[in-house]
Amino acid sequence: MPTLIDVELGALIEQQVCNEEANRLIDSIGNNQKMLACKQQFDKLTQSEMLLHQKDFKWNIHFIKDDSTVNAFCLPGGHVFVYTGLLNLTDNSSEIAGVLAHEIAHAELRHSLQQIIQQYGFQFVLEGILGINSSWLGLGLELVQLKFSRSDEQAADEFAFHMLQSNQIDTDGLISFFKKMEQTNSNQLTTFLSTHPDTRKRIQHIQSLKTSKN
């Protein structure tokens, strides 16, 4: 399937999410240290030579002001959205990079596109891109709550792990953030955890990647 589909579909959903979150979308990150660090890590990761779609996707990042939502997602074509509730939970730039790398991997490996096609059918996707189906209107935030399969999660974790390594970013950040998510008992965490199941198994798997490298 041509990557033009990812790009066109991603642009469509990005526009919808921006419309739906218009009141909370952060226009300028100013001198907010966490957002600056996040943007810096994002730029570093998306310039990575590991990304097959480094040039053909439209990699960009948006921040949404909502401290009670612990979530981040990546649309097809490389549009990442990060809620301030997730940023607040991170303690250092390697944790931020870990989450970003995982989300970037979902787009790069085209999981985001596959999920949407699987759920809604290719024809519906095509109608959205062509702008000939009005049921697409307002669908944005619903589309980003689709769950990835266990194997997609594992593949995204592995890709993220190698992308972090190749950028000389501490891979412990990926592990410690997921551990933190798992251990924090809060309703705030349901959003991210509901789209990212099996956290404990995934932590073990990432740790095994790490030990096999040493």
Distance (Å, whole) CA 83 – CA 53: 25
Q: Are 169 and 41 in contact (CB under 8 A)?
A: yes
Helices marked H in the chain: 3-20, 33-46, 84-89, 93-108, 111-120, 122-130, 140-143, 150-166, 172-183, 190-195, 199-213
Q: Which is nearer to Zn ion, 98 or 140 (CB)?
A: 98
Q: Which is nearer to Zn ion, 70 or 136 (CB)?
A: 70
- Out of 161, 196, 202, 206, the only residue in the binding site for Zn ion (CB under 5 A) is 196
Output the smallest distance, CB 152 to Zn ion, in A. Answer: 7
Distance (Å, whole) CA 93 – CA 33: 10
Tell me which residues in 101-160 interact with Zn ion (CB under 5 A).
153, 156
Q: Nearest Cα to 127, choosing from 4, 3, 12, 1?
A: 12
Residues in the interface with Zn ion (CB under 5 A) total 3
Q: Which is nearer to Zn ion, 6 or 153 (CB)?
A: 153
Output the smallest distance, CB 153 to Zn ion, in A. Answer: 5
Q: Which is nearer to Zn ion, 21 or 153 (CB)?
A: 153
Q: Are 85 and 70 in contact (CB under 8 A)?
A: yes
Output the smallest distance, CB 102 to Zn ion, in A. Answer: 6
Question: What element of type H or E holds 74?
Answer: strand 72-75
* Nearest residue to Zn ion, by Cβ distance, number only: 196
Output the smallest distance, CB 71 to Zn ion, in A. Answer: 11
Output the smallest distance, CB 148 to Zn ion, in A. Answer: 5
Q: Which chain residues interact with Zn ion by CB under 5 A?
A: 153, 156, 196
